[in-house]
Amino acid sequence: MQIAPIYQQFQITFKYTVHFTEGLFNLSNPLLRNVILEDRTEEAPKVLFVIDHHVAEAVPALVSDIQAYSQQNADAFQLVTEPVIIPGGEQCKNDPTYVQQVLDIINDHGIDRHSYIIVIGGGAILDMVGYAASIAHRGIRHIRIPTTVLAQDDSGVGVKNSINAFGKKNFLGCFTPPNAVINDFNFLLTLSDREWRAGIAEAIKVALIKDASFFQFIQENAAKLAQRDMAAMQYLIRRSAEMHVQHIGSGDPFEKGSSRPLDFGHWSAHKIEPLSNYRIRHGEAVAMGIALDSVYSHLIGWLTEAEVNQIISVIKALGFELYATEMTSHLDDASHPDSLLHGLQEFREHLGGQLTIMLLEKIGYGVEVHEIDDKLVIEAIKKLQTY
């Protein structure tokens, strides 16, 4: 006896807006109020704010500003408790107690699927809180307010949420789009020069694989960007965020396949970070990874020498390092867990399927490959040491 199978297929539409503003919590700024009013499904939903401690320290009035803004807009949303401050940076993704802390607060205050969790901070805390919001009740609405260049132009505008585990970046995570992203440029004024610079690497990345004219803008404005010119940075963030969002919605937003062009320069970056015990920040590691894969692209006969020199010059002009000693550890043994070459295997495992690495055929045009020559990687690393 055979019983016919039942087939199921359905589609779900996700949509969210990336907003740009200044002074989000000024009492005269209606943006956050309007975002919640446009999206809410019940009267005055509960809202929980979670803040990166770096931001809270840099903006001492932030908590009181949020409380005053919430009080003025009590008809639109209800603050369930005072804003919660959690350590930002990679530590909040490495230590699972921080995810548990957010989940405990969600439980204690009866925060449900119609409530909102609003997270303010850098990419790491956006990842962690987004993950907690996504697994509680199988999904609580969350709004991201990125405060770093890297989060505003790349990680904060996407659909990924994660924490680190087993010594690997983003081992635990999910794809859950935010209900909205709000980029407040005023937060950039609080950044150190190092933090300001770090996020530019992701803009270089997307320009190199997709838009030669955008790379030319970065090249021509490298000095302005390094000197913290806000107009140049606002354009860079807006264009980079636009390109990231367009790519995410264009084909494989939840990365079911092996293709991940937006991870150009990232296979090595994801390994350099833990090898340095996170001394090297993500954007800095990405800059090294971009340099490495650009030189590799030249060694296989794609990028011309002039093009690779252009790329290296821009990365250096922005103040990035091209090389770290961790890159040369255990290069004679690709199976060693502390070898940069082992990062290729870890990257393939994270992707699933076959190894897929984005390289550059020319500036503005990326091509995916499925094999990497370890000897040429080592040669590329040695070349980086000489620049």
More confident residue, 178 or 258: 178
Q: Which domains does the chain have, with CATH numbers?
A: 17-190 (3.40.50.1970), 193-386 (1.20.1090.10)
Query: Tens digit of pLDDT for each residue in 306-349?
Result: 999 999 999 999 999 999 999 998 888 888 989 999 988 888 88
Rg of the chain taking only CA atoms, in angstroms: 21
Mean pLDDT of 150-169: 91
Q: Is the pLDDT of residue 355 over 60?
A: yes
- The answer on pLDDT for 159 being more than 80 is yes
pLDDT of residue 30: 97
Helix/strand/coil (H, E, C) string of the chain? CCCCCCCCCCCCCCCCEEEEECCCCCCCCCHHHHHHHHHCCCCCCEEEEEEEHHHHHHCCCHHHHHHHHHHHCCCCCEECCCCEEECCCCHHHHCCHHHHHHHHHHHHCCCCCCCEEEEEECHHHHHHHHHHHHHHHHCCEEEEEECCHHHHHCHHHCCEEEEEECCEEEEEEEECCCCEEEEEHHHHHHCCHHHHHHCHHHHHHHHHHHCHHHHHHHHHCHHHHHCCCHHHHHHHHHHHHHHHHHHHCCCCCCCCCCCCHHHCCHHHHHHHHHHCCCCCCHHHHHHHHHHHHHHHHHHCCCCCHHHHHHHHHHHHHCCCCCCCHHHHCCCCCCCCCCCCCHHHHHHHHHHCCCCCEEEEEECCEEEEECCCCHHHHHHHHHHHHHC
Task: Report the mean per-residue pLDDT for the chain.
Answer: 93
More confident: 352 or 120:
120
Note the pLDDT tens digit of each residue in 240-282: 999 999 888 777 677 665 557 778 999 999 999 999 998 999 9
Residues 4-47: tens digit of each pLDDT = 999 999 888 889 999 999 999 999 999 999 999 998 777 899 99
Q: What is the pTM of this model?
A: 0.90
Taking residues 205-232, report their average pLDDT: 97
Closest CA to 267 of 369, 341, 375: 341
